[in-house]
């Protein structure tokens, strides 16, 4: 249904699981405690505090390193089936380098957290990498350096070995698009490099191979005795054609391929999307490059990468209209945006959030889920992030509306469209460090008082709403 604050009165299937998510740098704090190494967000916030709107950092954040039992108590109160959290690479392997020492205190922290979850009958869903790259690896060039594949494979083996007895659901990378495009392309996230159309393509090339390595390590060395599942969590908007014209429809499809297909196509269908290969090859030639700015997978690599998934995951928050754009006549412009070459915009009528890139457009979620199902051959789908920001306050009715309407579209995709969505993860359990926005944008079901050294957590109205949805499997008062 498209009207505002409407929702289906159908109920979620019994197999459907609800969870919440956080990420290590955004909640843990203890940035240099017990042997943890520096990561690129520690480094960026300490050397360039103006990068963050309120000049804050994750030195303490929600202090989950010390308060993880409070976090699990909140999860218990919510009644979630699972908890999605990420591992801090430099807490476990301070230098990050393949073969370098493992930090036992880091192993112990995550073993304690996982045990606390298991004791409370909450399933861990672990993200291996959620943007906090060890600084030493960045000094070796970061993901644009092909050697990163070896470092990641070593890291993956360490975490499968130490946590795989209890952890059955793994995500290799959170939002590879942001890791590479925002990290090495447009400089919106650490390490803040601006090499659009160049380094960011090297970054994703290595990252996709690193994902495949980790998948095969699990498949060949751990799956038999651990019986778990491995996936990757790309993100995208729903891209809606601005008109019914063929050119606008092609532009919308191209935007989906350049954002989600960039990663999902190699992993599900084989190789980069043909529209990416063709457009970047063509523009690279016009620009005088001897070879395409988009690196090539060999035939063996295409086969090695294809099929490295046990489910499909998606982080989805919002929607954009897409309009075809006149071809960039100035071929000297080297950038991802000019390779993609579309115009995107919000409809002014769409409700705003506290984040400039996020408008409330619930029907976009249903369309995106249908596109994913059709494009990747009806896989099992986990929604691994969805949520909305405000500037704070406990009576967060707009967050309740957001969840009711987005979840209604998820349920309609399942019951009316036959899309095989089996999990939904709310971002986030609690207010946390929102990257370059600092603590100015709040996504939590619980608020955190960052002025109090005890970092007390307080439930918001949305926590009660989400908890009632989980227990009743129903979004409104009178379900069938
Ligand atoms: O701010 S600006 O408009 O100047 C530029 C940044 C735009 N990006 C858009 C993509 N978004 C992906 C979502 O990012 C995800 O969602 C959460 C909320 O952001 C994060 O906290 C999670 O860590 C992340 O996985 C991250 C921010």
- pLDDT tens column, 385-425: 999 999 999 999 999 999 999 999 999 999 999 999 999 99
Nearest CA to ligand 1 atom 19: 434
Sign of CA dihedral 217, 221, 226, 227: positive
pLDDT at res. 415: 97
188 CA → ligand 1 middle, Å: 9
Cis peptide, bond prior to residue 444, ω within 30 of zero: no
What average pLDDT does this structure show over 176-204?
Answer: 95
51 CA → ligand 1 middle, Å: 15
Rounded Cα distance, 309 and 237, in Å: 21
Could you tell which of 255, 263, 385 is best to mutate to test the pocket of ligand 1, judged by most ligand atoms within 8 Å of the CB?
385
Closest C-alpha to 337, from 259, 220, 246: 259
Nearest CA to ligand 1 atom 18: 434
Closest C-alpha to 313, from 406, 420, 221: 420
pLDDT at res. 480: 77
pLDDT band of 310, cuts 50, 70, 90: very high
Task: For residue 448, list its beta bridge partners.
Answer: 457
pLDDT at res. 5: 60
Contact 106, 88 (CB under 8 A): yes
Nearest atom within ligand 1 for CA of residue 436: 1
* Residue 370 CA: distances (Å) to CA of 302, 403, 448: 26, 19, 36
Nearest CA to ligand 1 atom 9: 357
List all residues whose CB is within 6 A of at least one atom of ligand 1.
23, 26, 174-175, 178, 188, 235, 315, 356-357, 385, 427, 434, 443
409 CA → ligand 1 middle, Å: 22
pLDDT at res. 271: 98
Could you tell which of 26, 58, 178 is best to mutate to test the pocket of ligand 1, judged by most ligand atoms within 8 Å of the CB?
178
436 CA → ligand 1 middle, Å: 9
Give the E-state strand segments of 272-339 in sequence order. 312-315, 319-324
Rounded Cα distance, 276 and 77, in Å: 46
Nearest CA to ligand 1 atom 21: 434
Nearest atom within ligand 1 for CA of residue 356: 3
pLDDT at res. 124: 98
- DSSP letter (8 states) at residue 474: B
105 CA → ligand 1 middle, Å: 30
Residue-wise burial string across 271-280, b where 16 or more C-beta atoms lie within 10 A, e elsewhere: bbbebbbebb
pLDDT at res. 332: 82
123 CA → ligand 1 middle, Å: 25
Question: Tens digits of per-residue pLDDT, 257-295?
Answer: 999 999 999 999 999 999 999 999 999 999 999 999 999
208 CA → ligand 1 middle, Å: 20
Rounded Cα distance, 221 and 160, in Å: 9
pLDDT at res. 330: 73
Could you tell which of 52, 172, 260, 317 is best to mutate to test the pocket of ligand 1, judged by most ligand atoms within 8 Å of the CB?
317
Rounded Cα distance, 27 and 432, in Å: 6
pLDDT at residue 120 tops 60:
yes
Could you tell which of 24, 127, 176, 188 is best to mutate to test the pocket of ligand 1, judged by most ligand atoms within 8 Å of the CB?
188
Question: Tens digits of per-residue pLDDT, 316-357?
Answer: 999 999 999 988 677 789 999 999 999 999 999 999 999 999
What is the pTM for the complete model shown?
A: 0.97
235 CA → ligand 1 middle, Å: 10
Neighbours of 311 (CB within 10 A): 18
Share the mean pLDDT of the chain: 97
pLDDT at res. 3: 55
pLDDT at residue 1 tops 60:
no
Rounded Cα distance, 188 and 137, in Å: 19
* Residue 168 CA: distances (Å) to CA of 83, 162, 225, 253, 386: 12, 12, 11, 34, 22
Nearest CA to ligand 1 atom 7: 357
Label residue 418 left, alpha or beta by phi (over 0 means left) and psi (-120 to 50 means alpha): left
Q: Which two tokens stand for residue 263?
A: 């990663």
pLDDT at res. 479: 85
Rounded Cα distance, 369 and 366, in Å: 5
Question: Tens digits of per-residue pLDDT, 17-61?
Answer: 999 999 999 999 999 999 999 999 999 999 999 999 999 999 999
pLDDT at residue 85 tops 90:
yes
Nearest atom within ligand 1 for CA of residue 175: 25
Nearest atom within ligand 1 for CA of residue 435: 21
pLDDT band of 4, cuts 50, 70, 90: low
Nearest CA to ligand 1 atom 26: 178
* Residue 391 CA: distances (Å) to CA of 111, 288, 399, 434, 443: 34, 48, 11, 12, 9
- DSSP letter (8 states) at residue 472: H
pLDDT at res. 2: 53
Residues serving a catalytic function are 175, 385
């Amino acid at each position: 249904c498209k009207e505002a604050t409407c929702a289906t009165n159908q109920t979620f299937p019994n197999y459907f699981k609800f969870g919440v998510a956080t990420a290590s740098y955004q909640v843990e704090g203890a940035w240099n405690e017990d042997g943890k190494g520096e990561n690129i967000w520690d480094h960026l916030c300490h050397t360039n505090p103006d990068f963050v709107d309120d000049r804050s950092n994750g030195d303490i954040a929600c202090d989950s390193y010390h308060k993880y039992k409070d976090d699990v108590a909140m999860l218990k109160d919510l009644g979630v089936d699972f908890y999605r959290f990420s591992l801090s690479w430099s807490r476990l392997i301070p230098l990050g380098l393949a073969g370098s020492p493992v930090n036992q205190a880091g192993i112990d922290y995550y073993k304690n957290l996982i045990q606390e979850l298991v004791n409370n009958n909450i399933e861990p869903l672990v993200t291996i990498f959620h943007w906090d790259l060890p600084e030493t690896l960045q000094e070796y060039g970061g993901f644009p350096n092909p050697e990163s594949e070896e470092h990641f494979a070593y890291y993956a083996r360490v975490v499968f070995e130490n946590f795989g007895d209890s952890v059955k659901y793994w995500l290799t990378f959170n939002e590879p698009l942001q890791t590479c495009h925002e990290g090495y392309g447009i400089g919106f996230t650490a390490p803040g490099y601006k090499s659009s159309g160049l380094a960011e393509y090297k970054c994703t090339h290595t990252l996709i191979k690193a994902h495949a390595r980790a998948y095969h390590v699990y498949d060949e060395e751990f799956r038999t005795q651990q019986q778990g599942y491995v996936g990757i969590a790309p993100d995208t908007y729903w891209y809606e054609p601005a008109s019914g014209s063929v050119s606008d429809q092609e532009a919308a499809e191209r935007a989906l391929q350049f954002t989600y297909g960039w990663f999902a196509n190699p992993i599900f269908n084989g190789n980069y999307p043909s529209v990416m290969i063709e457009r970047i090859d063509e523009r690279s030639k016009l620009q005088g490059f001897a070879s395409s700015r988009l690196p090539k997978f060999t035939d063996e690599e295409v086969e090695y990468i294809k099929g490295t998934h046990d489910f499909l995951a998606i982080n989805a928050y919002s929607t954009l209209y897409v309009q075809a754009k006149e071809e960039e006549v100035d071929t000297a412009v080297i950038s991802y945006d000019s390779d993609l070459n579309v115009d995107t915009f919000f409809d002014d009528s769409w409700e705003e959030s506290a984040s400039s890139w996020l408008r409330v457009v619930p029907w976009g979620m249903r369309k995106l889920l249908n596109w994913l199902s059709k494009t990747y051959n009806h896989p099992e789908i986990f929604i691994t992030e969805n949520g909305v920001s405000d500037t704070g306050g406990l009576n967060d009715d707009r967050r309740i509306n957001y969840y009711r309407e987005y979840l209604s579209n998820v349920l309609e995709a399942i019951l009316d469209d036959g899309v095989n969505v089996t999990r939904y993860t709310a971002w986030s359990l609690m207010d946390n460090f929102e990257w370059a926005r600092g603590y100015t944008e709040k996504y939590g079901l619980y608020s955190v008082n960052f002025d109090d050294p005890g970092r007390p957590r307080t439930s918001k109205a949305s926590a009660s709403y989400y908890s009632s949805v989980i227990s009743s499997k129903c979004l409104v008062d009178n379900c069938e």
